[in-house]
Amino acid sequence: MIYIKVLVTGGLGYIGSHTCVELLNNGYEVVIVDNLYNSTIDVLQRIEKITGKKVDFYDFDVCSYEAMDTVFSENKIEAVIHFAAYKAVGESVKEPIKYYQNNLLATLNLCKVMLKYNCQRLIFSSSATVYGKVRSLPIKEDAPLSTTNPYGTTKLMNEEILADICKANPNFSVVVLRYFNPIGAHKSGLLGENPKGIPNNLMPYIMRVAANNEREEKEQVAEYKYVKVFGDSYDTLDGTGVRDYIHVVDLARGHLLAMEKCFNSLGIDFYNLGTGKGYSVLDLINTYEKVNNVKVPYKIVAKRDGDIAACYADTNKAFKELGFKALYGIDDMCRDSYLYQKNYIKEHGEIF
């Protein structure tokens, strides 16, 4: 059997770790580079526990050319999946230099080293954020691109950088994946999303409110008494924001299909990874309560700056060209997030 060795940058993060599991379960060898900026080392053991396979790990920063040169000189890397990046929208507005420096330099360095070692296949972790203020739904890959914050701009700039690299290097093959809203967790309950600090995203916030609500009244934390629903006057069915939530394991599977594409074609191509279905904030809260039999109190508060009413994917291109179709629904996503929450609390005593 011939093993294909894949480098996964940011492989201990939320999407990265689930993708490593899928790669290992499908016969790939995996090398992870992760500087633990937004992840913890125990995720490595969890990936190995779930898959029963060994992973090579480097606690390196992708922004260091020397470090990446070492990784490529010690391994015959045939393809790269590049997740490592800063991803907090609000922080990017306050600290744009930090975001441009990290998110652009990482990709530039990586591509430089890849070219040096003749590694020509790359999957890039992009985001539906590149569609900016959405004009028509569902969103197709050829929709106009724009951004509303520095984080989003780094994703769009990276897409453009990669297109130029492909133009200059006709043997390069890049697949850009534009993620919609990943939630859910691995069915083992061992991998999931539990961000450091107060979560910006809806699902991790719902999880904390649910966990807080299960505590004795006197032990409850004020911050997580209820979910703050950012506005109920959007032009949507119930007035709250609508998003295309996708199970993180489905998203991870999408990377394997993108990998096959990378091995079979040249140049750059762009794909949405979503389910094509939109759910509102209240849909998600209600589903979480229903499938897990828990309480998630909420209050309507002011809209969040920069939010749009609705965003969901046209999934036809990913289906036709990659064979990608999401298998899990919103109930599965809510159930698996809760399973991770339960498991996390069992292991650590608390989730926040």
Residue ranges of alpha helices (H) inside the chain are 14-25, 42-51, 65-74, 89-94, 96-116, 150-168, 202-213, 248-264, 281-292, 316-317, 330-348
Of 18, 12, 124, the C-alpha closest to 337 is 18
| 348 vs 272: CA distance, rounded Å | 36
Q: Which stretch binds ligand UFG (CB under 6 A): 109-117, 200-208, 209-217, 337-345?
A: 200-208
Asked if residue 208 binds ligand UFG (CB under 6 A), the reply is no
| 104 vs 296: CA distance, rounded Å | 39
Of 61, 108, 102, 64, the C-alpha closest to 85 is 102
CB closest to ligand UFG, residue no = 241
Site string for ligand UFG, 7-26 (x = CB under 6 A): --------------------
Per CB under 6 A, the list member of 35, 173, 181, 272 interacting with ligand UFG is: 181
In the set 28, 86, 151, 298, the catalytic residue is: 151
Per CB under 6 A, the list member of 50, 123, 128, 268 interacting with ligand UFG is: 128
Q: Name the minimum Å distance from CB 193 to ligand UFG.
A: 11
Instruction: Give the phi and the psi of residue 279 in degrees, each rounded to 5.
Output: -125, 145
Q: Name the minimum Å distance from CB 136 to ligand UFG.
A: 15
Closer CB to ligand UFG, residue 117 or residue 230?
Answer: 230
Q: Verify whether residue 151 is a known catalytic residue.
A: yes
Q: Which stretch binds ligand UFG (CB under 6 A): 39-47, 52-60, 195-203, 261-269?
A: 195-203
Written as six digits, the tokens of 224 are 């997580």
Instruction: Give the phi and the psi of residue 205 in degrees, each rounded to 5.
Output: -70, -45
Q: Name the minimum Å distance from CB 150 to ligand UFG.
A: 12
Per CB under 6 A, the list member of 12, 114, 165, 311 interacting with ligand UFG is: 311
Q: Name the minimum Å distance from CB 93 to ligand UFG.
A: 13
Is residue 282 within 8 Å of residue 243, measured between CB atoms? no
Identify the burial level of 293 via C-beta atoms within 10 angstroms of its C-beta, where 0-12 means exposed, 13-18 middle and 19 or more buried. Answer: exposed
Asked if residue 307 binds ligand UFG (CB under 6 A), the reply is yes
Per CB under 6 A, the list member of 148, 188, 200, 220 interacting with ligand UFG is: 200
Q: Name the minimum Å distance from CB 266 to ligand UFG.
A: 28
Per CB under 6 A, the list member of 304, 323, 347, 350 interacting with ligand UFG is: 304
The residue assigned the tokens 């966990």 is: 211
Asked if residue 107 binds ligand UFG (CB under 6 A), the reply is no
Task: Using alpha carbons only, give the angle 227, 39, 58 rounded to the nearest 5 degrees.
Answer: 165
Closer CB to ligand UFG, residue 279 or residue 344?
Answer: 279
Asked if residue 228 binds ligand UFG (CB under 6 A), the reply is yes
The residue assigned the tokens 């107060």 is: 198
Is residue 15 within 8 Å of residue 252, measured between CB atoms? yes
Per CB under 6 A, the list member of 19, 125, 127, 154 interacting with ligand UFG is: 127
Helix 330-348, helix 202-213: angle, nearest 10: 60
CB neighbour list of residue 321: distance below 8 Å, 6 or more residues apart = 261, 269, 271
Q: Name the minimum Å distance from CB 201 to ligand UFG.
A: 3
Site string for ligand UFG, 239-278 (x = CB under 6 A): --x-x-----------------------------------
Q: Name the minimum Å distance from CB 196 to ligand UFG.
A: 15
Written as six digits, the tokens of 43 are 């995720």
Is residue 42 within 8 Å of residue 88, measured between CB atoms? no
Asked if residue 113 binds ligand UFG (CB under 6 A), the reply is no
Which active-site residues does the annotation give?
A: 151
Note the residues at the interface with ligand UFG (CB under 6 A).
Answer: 87, 89, 127-129, 152, 181, 200-202, 205, 227-230, 241, 243, 281, 304, 307, 311
